[in-house]
Chains A and B, each alone.
Chain A
């Protein structure tokens, strides 16, 4: 069943209040990830000015920073790393250097099939978290989506573009579990919901992130919610009123 909404966007102030904490928390992850991206960009710039090839092995220099993202945001960021634009490196046409957080057995590196000829080819260039920063030059909060590649959970991915000398070289990013985001949002959303009509938070493409009613569940799509665009420094999410409670 596709949920229908009867009322439009909530007042902007309600929206900001609800999102203040989560915006700040995700903002901190974006800042951490931006440090990783800056380090990668510096590597690319150094290689360019020194006329040296940029190699896969050079990425090892980023790992302490990636590790820092995971420890600094422990329990919130489930994975982090950099994903290179095709041909950004000289010795690998495509490259993912992504690590998942310690799950008892130490941090682990993600391995995926990046051979376009393979049946299991993972084409990251088509993902929202890669495509959007590449297109807009802005950070992006993609999802929620089922990440069967890395976290195996319902996930958001924050990503920032990496640009060297006006050339897009890839994204730095981190995975955030949708459950953690919902945990932060639900108390406030429920308070709002109690005040009157149900409150539903949707992503820019209409996917429900959190809701104060069991009649509109996370993961479903609010078809009539329209779209919202990402404003710098703000999450591309919208608080909208749910259907009027049944009489």
Chain B
């Protein structure tokens, strides 16, 4: 019997639409993240190529390219013949947590931090200049959503969404896209469960930031956003260094 199509929550998480002409690396990243996050389980058989390609909204050629990359990353195994197909090979726990971080150099992490700081601080400053009362209500709702999120994946998504909303409040599609791209790249790292990230400290930063936006205090908003990103970057740098101390 063919394996069932991936359904419900996992499907929604995996299969939010790709941008037009979705590329193999986007598919690779999405599947790799799903495996690392445990959305796809070790040993699980992936749907048939044509079916999976359809669900992801890409051609089978693109999907095959992505699967080839995942095989070289050791995250997917393809068996031929009867009962064959593509199977998930989840890295063990320590590896799962550390691997994304190990792949980055200190220089790379610092660079990501610089990029995030540039985007987030400008978005915060412009949001403070351009927010309407209704925008503030939306931002507060998203801050609340993060506070209520318990699972790490939910926190990551709620956190990303809040920062994306701030960029949208800045009335800039480009800054908004930049935040979306950054969060799809580093979201997992920000909420890496190795060292329990304190949701209350993140929430406090967000509250202060929204307060500044509401008060139409652009410079204060910029400063808070910059410090918020800098603190997260420092924490990641510390974590990265600690991988060598153990």
Please measure, in the bound complex, the distance between the C-alpha atom of A207 and the C-alpha atom of B171, giving whole angstroms: 10
Q: Are the C-beta atoms of B129 and A119 separated by less than 8 Å?
A: no
Q: Are the C-beta atoms of B138 and A126 separated by less than 8 Å?
A: yes
How many B residues touch the partner, as a band?
35 or more
Q: Which residues of A contact B173 (CB under 8 A)?
A: 146, 148, 152-154
Q: Which residues of B contact A221 (CB under 8 A)?
A: 129-132
Is B84 on the interface with A (CB-CB < 8 A)? no
Q: Are the C-beta atoms of A110 and B216 separated by less than 8 Å?
A: no
Please measure, in the bound complex, the distance between the C-alpha atom of A154 and the C-alpha atom of B167, giving whole angstroms: 12
Bitwise, A145-171 to B at CB < 8 A (1) or not (0) is 110100011100000000000000000
Bitwise, A120-139 to B at CB < 8 A (1) or not (0) is 11010010100000000000
Q: Which residues of B contact A220 (CB under 8 A)?
A: 129-130, 171
Please measure, in the bound complex, the distance between the C-alpha atom of A118 and the C-alpha atom of B21, giving whole angstroms: 27
Please measure, in the bound complex, the distance between the C-alpha atom of A110 and the C-alpha atom of B157, giving whole angstroms: 19
**Known contacts A119-B155, A154-B171: does B17 contact A146 (CB below 8 Å)?**
no
Please measure, in the bound complex, the distance between the C-alpha atom of A105 and the C-alpha atom of B23, giving whole angstroms: 14
Q: Which single member of B17, B146, B176 contacts A108 (CB below 8 Å)?
A: B17
Number of interface residues of A (CB under 8 A): 31
Q: Are the C-beta atoms of B168 and A119 separated by less than 8 Å?
A: no
Q: How far is the CB of B180 from chain A (nearest CB, A)?
A: 7
Q: Are the C-beta atoms of A205 and B132 separated by less than 8 Å?
A: yes
Q: Which single member of A104, A115, A219 contacts B20 (CB below 8 Å)?
A: A104
Q: How far is the CB of A204 from chain B (nearest CB, A)?
A: 11
Q: Are the C-beta atoms of A146 and B167 separated by less than 8 Å?
A: yes
Q: Which residues of A contact B172 (CB under 8 A)?
A: 146, 219
Q: Are the C-beta atoms of B134 and A205 separated by less than 8 Å?
A: yes
Q: Are the C-beta atoms of B130 and A152 separated by less than 8 Å?
A: no
Please measure, in the bound complex, the distance between the C-alpha atom of A12 and the C-alpha atom of B141, giving whole angstroms: 39
Q: Which single member of B21, B129, B153, B155 contacts A105 (CB below 8 Å)?
A: B21
Is B161 on the interface with A (CB-CB < 8 A)? yes
Q: Give 7 nearest A-B pairs by CB, closest first.
A: A219-B171, A119-B154, A119-B157, A146-B168, A119-B158, A120-B157, A148-B176
